[in-house]
Every structure is written in structure tokens, then in C-alpha cells.
């Protein structure tokens, strides 16, 4: 049986585009004499559709697309994902389903059993779990079809009380097929490969694993679809961050024949890699994910050009470089806005960066605007000493200028704040926290430096002085980030332990960190939730990003 996997980039709610893409892949699969083509989870409507699922019209349109697609499923079988209505009055109104189409009909409807409701996932809000589990018989083979999370319930501490494959394996299936929308983080591809291998080892049959690719606002899907034989060998591993149509032959003895085979020893076992978090690793993958996140956000929203405040610092430099790669340098406008406290080398560094990248830039001095603010506010400020209020006026002036240009000329403002700053509240609401998309908001400061080195891997694009000089907001004389924050080498580790690892203060102190510094850092994180709650969407590259994947109370007293 010739099985092809369609690793595709879908657009949520764009039924026409998604269906056209699916039909084109079916036509190509027919030309390759495929018996079965597999698409990703909720491929018809795009993942995650969230509250769109509450609209009857949205579900109606999905069903209309199935009617269209099944007309192409004549001499080829098609497995495609979409919402399915629950005919029972009890329970949720919808299932997360895979439709098995063949001979112009819906031959089977498979429902997702395990509905993740953690981090970015909220499927129990919309879907009813599967009530029954049956293999699908096709051309003499029994297919055990599952959807994404259904294969992840392995290990010593399973999240769910049931596992659909435990039921399906009693029906003697010949192959496992999984339709997924499994998001990217810097370690997830390793974990994903390990979990697929763990299923193959447990059930003793091959697996064809089809994952989605592309960006949906803040969530990145990397693809990296997999085909394993029954011995635990990787027969094919699809490339990440690109669309691919490829597959393998399932033989009569359930062996799998492909043109690439990787020994199983190269795939670590699940227990050795799952939940191992290394934020400074996989910088190349993080880079590719951020570029895809920017590019897809603009393309799917039909935006053309970006504007970015260019300070001569590391964060804006990396953001500009990423945007130029994603959109083309001609579509990225940098605006340099020196204040009375900006150093000349910062301006020079920012100019040199844009010259290296060949992107347009402007220089707008904000001295007069800043002084006019101070003059108008003097009767209220009186003779009180210089404080954060004057610093924030400069930042908000820059935000105002950037948004004015964006509104007038049709740009989208890309925000440059990093995760270390957002965590500690080191930013100005409606100033340097303004923007339509947060590019680096899930990257700690040390990751930003690693990205800069990666960007410069072949030639100097980001000037070396930007990378090596002490970071500063330059909002007061001789200011350094270290005046307000711990050194990033220590701060980032404490933040990582608290945010990603969810370790409490005593656990972090036990690792050897200064107790007073731990308490101070965690207090900064929790008391600044009100700022992050007003922040723009952040491209997610970690297992625990700010935004929909991290939900804590604004007015909570815990550790604050």
C-alpha cells in the first residue's frame, strides 16, 4: 500500500484555500499512484480554530468542503481532519475528527479521544472525546487511526486514564496513522520523535505520522512528519518549516519501504529525552521558526511591510534581521529615534546594521518632542527629581512616532521586547511594548545573543559592537540594564526554572541561587502580569510562552 503524507500549511477559516491545497495534493498523489493520502489534524478548517467552532456557519462550511473533497476520493483514499457534529444530545456538540473518504463516500469517521487542555491547548472547551474505537479496513489492511494527542499518553505518569491504541491494538491493526497539529518548541521535535518510537515499540507495528506546518498567529507548527517501520527505524523524517508531500510503501508483511532509512539507535528513547529542556540549544530551529512566524503572520493577514524601532541594541538588531529574512529587506523600515541620552555609537551601529541588511531607515531626533512634554508637564511635575516618568516619556514618544508612521504608510509595527524584559516588567506600556507582533517575546536575552551569533554565522550582519556592548535602554545618563536587573546569565536561569520548569522559590534556591535574588526575581515576574496581559501576540518557541499558553491571575498575591 502506497501511503503519502501531506505536510501542509493551512489558514484558519480559509476554507477555499485549504480545500484547494488539499485537492491539489490529492491530484498529485493520484499521479504517484498512491493508495492513501493523509492530511493533518483539522486540516479543512485549520488549527486551532478556537471559538470559531461555536459558529454553526463555520462548521457548515467545513462539511461543505468534505463534500467537495470526497468527490476527488474515487480511486484513492483520503484521510482529512475537520470538526464533526455529535449526534447525541449528551456531551459537547462537536468531535475533533478524521474523515476517511473513498469511492466518493465517507467510509469512516474517527474521533479524537484525548483532548489536551493545557498550555496553548483548550480542546475540552469545544470537543467531546471519542466513545468508540475501531480500526478501518482498507485494501486488506487494518488501519489504527488516531489524532495528535491520542499517541502521547505513554510513560510513568500518564495525563489520561485511557489510551485509544490500547483498545485498537486488540483488533490486530497492521499500521498506525496519526493526523497531527503538533506545535513547535525548541525541544519538541526530539520529544515527538521519541514518542512516536515509543508507540512503535509498544505496539509492534509501523507508524505514519503526518504533522502540520506553518504559523497561526503565535503558534508555530514545524511539520517534521515521520514514518517508522515496525522495528523502530525512521524510514522518513520530513524537513521542518516547509510543505512536503512524501510517503512510503507498506508491504504485505507490514514492513515499510522508503528511500531513506535511519538506524533506530539515532532516535533516543522517550524516557531519555521527554521533558528535557535546553533553551540555548537548537538556535537554528528557533531562527527558522521566528522567520516563519513573521512571514506567515504577514502573508495570512495580507500585510506587506514592517516598521521597527532601531535603537542600536541587540534586540532591535535581531528583530530587524529576522524581519528582513522573512519579508525582504525592502519591506522592513527601521526608524532610529535618538534621545538626549542616546550615545553616538548606538546611532552609528543602527545605521551600519541597516546598511549591512540594505533595508530603508530614517532618523528622527526626539529631543524637541521630549522637551515639549517636560515643558507642558512642568506645572504638575513641579521640581520633583528625574524619575521613571521622564524615562517613559521618551519610550512613549518613540512608540507614538512608530505608530503614526505605521498608520500613515500602512506598516505593521514589530515589537522587539525579549522574554527576560517582559518577565521582569522592564518595559514601558504604550512605548517600547507597542506593536502588532512580538518577535522575541519568548526568547530570553541569552537566546537573543545566540540568535545574533547565528545570524552572523557566515558574515557580519549585526555589527560586533551591538553584540559585545553592555545592554542599555539609554533613557538616562550612563544607564545600563544591570542597574535595574540582575546579570542576564543569572536572571535567565532563574526565570527558566520558574517559568518553564515551574519550580517554586525553595526549589530554585536549592540549586544554589542567591535567596534574596530569587525572591526579588519571582516578585518582579508576578507583579508585572498586568503589563504582559496588555502585550501583543508573541511568537511561541518555548514549552511555556507568555500569552495563551500561560494563564495566571493579574491580581494574585502569590510570591508578590
Q: Could you give the CA distance from residue 47 to residue 180 in angstroms, rounded to a whole number?
A: 10
Host H or E run for residue 391: helix 388-409
Q: Are residues 150 and 182 in the same domain?
A: yes
Would you say 146 is a known binding-site residue? no
Q: Of the candidates 430, 455, 481, which is a domain's last residue?
A: 481
Q: Is residue 489 part of a domain?
A: no
Adjacent-strand bridge partners of 145? 177
Residue found by looking up cell 515643558 in the block: 375
Q: Are strands 141-147 and 175-180 parallel, antiparallel or unpaired?
A: parallel
Would you say 375 is a known binding-site residue? no
Q: Are residues 329 and 293 in the same domain?
A: yes
Is residue 413 within 8 A of residue 381, CB to CB? The reply is: no
Adjacent-strand bridge partners of 96? 83
Would you say 309 is a known binding-site residue? yes
Collapsed DSSP state (helix, strand, coil) of residue 482:
helix
Cα dihedral 408, 411, 413, 414 in deg (nearest 10): -170
Q: What is the CATH number of the domain that holds 11?
A: 3.60.110.10
Q: Are residues 241 and 314 in the same domain?
A: no
Q: Of the candidates 273, 301, 332, which is a domain's last residue?
A: 273
Would you say 395 is a known binding-site residue? no
Q: Could you give the CA distance from residue 397 to residue 399 in angstroms, rounded to a whole number?
A: 5
| 414: nearest Cα among 540, 539, 559, 525 | 539
DSSP states along 425-444: T-S-TTTTT--SEESSTTS-
Q: Tally Cβ neighbours within 10 Å of residue 393.
A: 20
Q: Are residues 269 and 287 in the same domain?
A: no
Would you say 276 is a known binding-site residue? no
Q: Is residue 504 part of a domain?
A: no
Would you say 262 is a known binding-site residue? no
Would you say 310 is a known binding-site residue? yes
Q: Are residues 185 and 316 in the same domain?
A: no
Q: Is residue 536 part of a domain?
A: no
**How many structural domains comprise the chain?**
2
Would you say 444 is a known binding-site residue? no
Residue found by looking up cell 509595527 in the block: 413
pLDDT of residue 258: 77
Would you say 316 is a known binding-site residue? yes
Host H or E run for residue 70: helix 56-70
Q: Are residues 80 and 199 in the same domain?
A: yes
Q: Is residue 183 part of a domain?
A: yes
Give catalytic residue positions.
Answer: 41, 112, 148
pLDDT of residue 261: 37
Q: Of the candidates 418, 447, 481, which is a domain's last residue?
A: 481
Please give the residue range of the domain that contains residue 144.
Answer: 2-273
Q: Could you give the CA distance from residue 30 to residue 162 in angstroms, rounded to a whole number?
A: 37
Q: Is residue 486 part of a domain?
A: no
Q: Is residue 543 part of a domain?
A: no
| 541: nearest Cα among 215, 286, 292, 323 | 286
Nearest 5 degrees, angle CA 93-CA 99-CA 100? 150
Would you say 412 is a known binding-site residue? no
Is residue 362 within 8 A of residue 346, CB to CB? The reply is: no
Q: What is the CATH number of the domain that holds 327?
A: 3.40.50.620
Q: Is residue 498 part of a domain?
A: no
HEC string of 256-307?
Answer: EECCCCECHHHCCCHHHHCCCCCCCCCHHHHHHHHHHHHHHHHHHHCCCEEE
Q: Is residue 353 part of a domain?
A: yes
| 306: nearest Cα among 289, 287, 286, 328 | 328
Q: Are residues 473 and 365 in the same domain?
A: yes
Q: Distances from the Cα of 95 to the Cαs of 123, 131, 211, in angstroms?
A: 10, 10, 19
Q: Are residues 232 and 306 in the same domain?
A: no
Q: Could you give the CA distance from residue 73 to residue 103 in angstroms, rounded to a whole number?
A: 6
| 43: nearest Cα among 27, 20, 60 | 20
pLDDT of residue 136: 98
DSSP states along 326-337: HH-GGGEEEEE-
Q: Could you give the CA distance from residue 130 to residue 500 in angstroms, rounded to a whole number?
A: 31
Q: Are residues 245 and 354 in the same domain?
A: no
Would you say 75 is a known binding-site residue? no
Q: Are strands 105-111 and 94-102 parallel, antiparallel or unpaired?
A: antiparallel
Q: Are residues 265 and 298 in the same domain?
A: no
Would you say 82 is a known binding-site residue? no
DSSP states along 240-251: BSS-EEEEEEE-
Exposure string for 538-549, b = 16+ CB within 10 A, e = fewer = bbbbbbbbbbbb
How would you class 506 by CB atoms within 10 Å of its CB: exposed for 0-12, middle for 13-18, buried for 19 or more?
Answer: exposed
Q: Could you give the CA distance from residue 147 to residue 141 in angstroms, rounded to a whole number?
A: 19
pLDDT of residue 47: 98
Residue found by looking up cell 477559516 in the block: 13
pLDDT of residue 278: 56
Collapsed DSSP state (helix, strand, coil) of residue 79:
strand
pLDDT of residue 489: 93
Q: Are residues 22 and 113 in the same domain?
A: yes
Q: What is the pLDDT along the chain (560 residues), one digit of tens a residue?
A: 999 999 999 999 999 999 999 999 999 999 999 999 999 999 999 999 999 999 999 999 999 999 999 999 999 999 999 999 999 999 999 999 999 999 999 999 999 999 999 999 999 999 999 999 999 999 999 999 999 999 999 988 899 998 999 999 999 999 999 999 999 999 888 899 999 999 999 999 999 999 999 999 999 999 999 999 999 999 999 999 999 999 999 999 989 987 543 333 344 444 433 333 455 679 999 999 999 999 999 999 999 999 999 999 999 999 999 999 999 999 999 999 999 888 888 899 999 999 999 999 999 999 999 999 999 999 999 999 999 999 999 999 999 999 999 999 999 999 999 999 999 999 999 999 999 999 999 999 999 999 999 999 999 999 999 999 988 877 778 878 777 788 999 999 999 999 999 999 999 999 999 999 999 999 999 999 999 999 999 999 999 999 999 999 999 999 98
Q: Are residues 333 and 392 in the same domain?
A: yes
Amino acid at each position: 500500500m502506497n501511503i503519502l503524507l501531506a505536510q501542509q500549511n493551512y489558514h484558519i477559516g480559509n476554507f477555499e484555500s485549504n480545500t484547494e491545497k488539499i485537492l491539489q495534493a490529492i491530484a498529485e498523489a493520484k499521479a504517484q499512484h498512491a493508495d492513501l493520502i493523509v492530511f493533518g489534524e483539522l486540516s479543512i478548517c485549520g488549527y486551532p480554530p478556537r471559538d470559531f467552532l461555536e459558529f454553526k456557519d463555520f462548521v457548515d462550511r467545513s462539511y461543505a468542503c468534505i463534500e467537495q473533497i470526497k468527490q476527488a476520493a474515487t480511486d484513492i483514499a483520503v484521510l482529512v481532519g475537520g470538526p464533526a457534529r455529535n449526534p447525541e444530545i449528551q456531551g459537547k456538540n462537536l468531535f475533533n475528527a478524521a474523515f476517511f473518504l473513498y469511492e466518493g463516500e465517507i467510509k469512516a469517521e474517527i474521533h479524537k479521544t484525548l483532548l489536551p487542555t493545557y498550555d496553548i491547548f483548550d480542546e475540552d472547551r469545544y470537543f467531546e472525546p471519542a466513545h468508540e474505537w475501531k480500526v478501518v479496513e482498507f485494501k486488506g489492511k487494518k488501519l489504527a487511526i488516531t489524532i495528535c494527542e491520542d499517541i502521547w499518553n505513554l510513560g510513568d505518569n500518564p495525563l489520561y486514564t485511557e489510551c485509544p491504541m490500547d483498545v485498537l491494538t486488540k483488533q490486530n491493526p497492521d499500521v498506525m496513522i496519526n493526523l497531527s497539529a503538533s506545535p513547535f518548541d525548541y525541544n519538541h521535535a526530539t520529544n515527538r520523535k521519541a514518542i512516536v518510537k515509543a508507540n512503535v515499540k509498544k505496539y509492534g507495528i509501523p507508524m505514519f505520522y503526518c504533522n502540520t506546518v506553518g504559523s497561526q498567529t503565535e503558534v508555530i507548527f514545524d511539520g517534521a512528519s515521520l514514518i517508522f517501520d515496525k522495528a523502530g527505524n525512521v524510514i522518513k523524517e520530513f524537513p521542518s518549516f516547509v510543505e512536503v508531500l512524501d510517503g512510503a510503501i507498506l508491504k504485505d508483511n507490514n514492513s515499510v519501504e522508503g528511500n531513506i532509512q535511519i538506524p533506530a539507535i539515532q532516535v533516543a528513547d522517550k524516557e531519555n529525552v521527554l521533558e528535557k529542556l535546553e533553551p540555548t540549544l537548537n538556535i537554528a530551529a528557533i531562527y527558522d521558526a521566528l522567520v516563519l512566524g513573521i512571514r506567515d503572520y504577514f502573508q495570512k493577514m495580507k500585510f506587506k511591510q514592517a516598521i521597527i524601532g532601531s535603537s542600536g541594541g541587540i534586540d532591535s538588531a535581531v528583530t530587524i534581521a529576522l524581519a528582513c529574512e522573512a519579508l525582504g529587506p525592502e519591506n522592513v523600515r527601521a526608524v532610529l529615534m535618538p534621545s538626549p541620552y542616546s550615545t553616538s555609537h548606538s546611532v552609528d551601529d543602527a545605521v551600519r546594521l541597516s546598511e549591512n541588511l540594505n533595508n530603508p531607515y530614517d532618523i528622527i531626533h526626539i529631543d524637541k518632542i521630549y522637551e515639549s512634554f517636560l515643558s507642558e508637564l512642568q506645572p504638575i511635575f513641579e521640581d520633583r527629581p528625574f524619575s521613571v516618568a521622564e524615562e517613559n516619556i521618551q519610550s512613549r514618544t518613540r512608540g507614538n512616532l512608530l505608530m503614526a508612521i505605521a498608520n500613515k504608510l500602512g506598516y505593521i509595527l514589530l515589537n522587539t521586547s525579549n522574554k527576560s524584559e517582559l518577565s521582569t516588567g522592564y518595559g514601558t506600556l504604550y512605548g517600547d511594548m507597542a506593536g502588532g507582533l512580538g518577535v522575541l517575546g519568548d526568547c530570553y536575552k541569552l537566546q537573543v545573543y545566540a540568535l545574533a551569533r547565528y545570524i552572523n554565522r557566515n558574515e557580519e550582519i549585526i555589527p560586533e559592537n551591538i553584540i559585545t556592548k553592555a545592554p542599555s535602554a539609554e533613557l538616562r545618563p550612563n544607564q545600563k540594564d544591570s542597574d535595574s536587573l540582575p546579570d542576564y546569565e543569572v536572571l535567565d536561569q532563574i526565570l527558566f526554572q520558574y517559568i518553564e520548569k515551574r519550580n517554586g522559590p525553595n526549589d530554585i534556591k536549592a540549586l544554589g541561587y542567591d535567596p534574596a535574588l530569587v525572591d526579588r526575581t519571582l516578585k518582579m515576574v508576578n507583579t508585572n502580569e498586568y503589563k504582559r496581559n496588555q502585550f501583543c501576540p508573541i511568537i511561541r518557541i518555548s514549552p511555556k510562552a507568555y500569552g495563551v499558553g500561560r494563564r495566571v491571575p493579574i491580581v494574585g498575591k502569590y510570591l508578590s
